[in-house]
Amino acid sequence: MICSGLSISFESSFCHFTTKTSALETSSRLIPICTLNLSTHLLVTFSLTSSHYLKRFKNFLRVHLTPRRWQAPKQTATTFCASGRYNTVVTTSEYRLTRRVHFYETDKAGIVHFSCFYRYMEEAEHALWRTAGLSIAPPNASVGFPRVAADFQFLKPLRFEDEFEVHICIAEISEKRIRYTATVTKDGDRIATGSMTIACVTKRPGEPLRSTPIPTTIADHFSVTRTNSNE
């Protein structure tokens, strides 16, 4: 017989613990040093020499390790989307587009023509969709998104080579429609505010456009802006 010792230790993000005891071991019942990588993210190293101390080790695990078992944090950032259910997909709700006024966008008065503001809002919308990993008009798409309402209020003019920002936000998502709000600013000054509503319709050759629910593969990528300065 050989007199040896039992050494048990474990480490985790919570604590470090080590204990030692005496044990009698025989060559026929020797249990070699082992390392267990548990699913609880605890590292245990031990040397056992008899069935008696194996039972003690099991009791040790039950008493000391189980209460400290590590659990993955739960996902709490859920979003309610137009699909009518909660999910954990990363969603997009707003986008800021920065650009300059081109010469062809100005009129004889030297300011941006009012119709260009609708194009600015649409450019920001397309960038919003690209940020979500989507295209509003991909090839061979089975659905389309025509504009059903749009408006603007003009507060100050823009001129050639002015640099400005278009901040577009998703203000509302329903089963078949998405409504945006947009704010055009220059150097922090509000230039114009507007809104636009798009509807989801089917696209079939030889058939009229018909409203249809927004596919979940699209709706689940968007969410309503929580703090909307345009409202």
DSSP, residue by residue, 61-112: IIIIIGGG---PPPP---EE-TTSSEE----B-EEEEEEE--GGGB-TTSBB
Question: Which residues share a beta bridge with 159?
Answer: 111
Tell me the one-letter amino acid at 153: Q
- Which candidate in 107, 162, 187, 189 is catalytic? 107
Tell me the one-letter amino acid at 202: T
Distance CA 18, CA 210 (A): 71
Phi and psi at residue 100, to the nearest 5°: -115, 155
Selection from 163, 167, 170 nearest residue 214 by Cα:
170
Distance CA 94, CA 146 (A): 20
What is the H or E stretch that residue 125 is in?
Answer: helix 115-131
Distance CA 156, CA 150 (A): 19
Residue 151 is among the residues annotated as catalytic for this protein = no
Tokens of residue 192, six digits: 């114009």
Tokens of residue 213, six digits: 């629910």
Q: Which residues are known catalytic residues?
A: 107
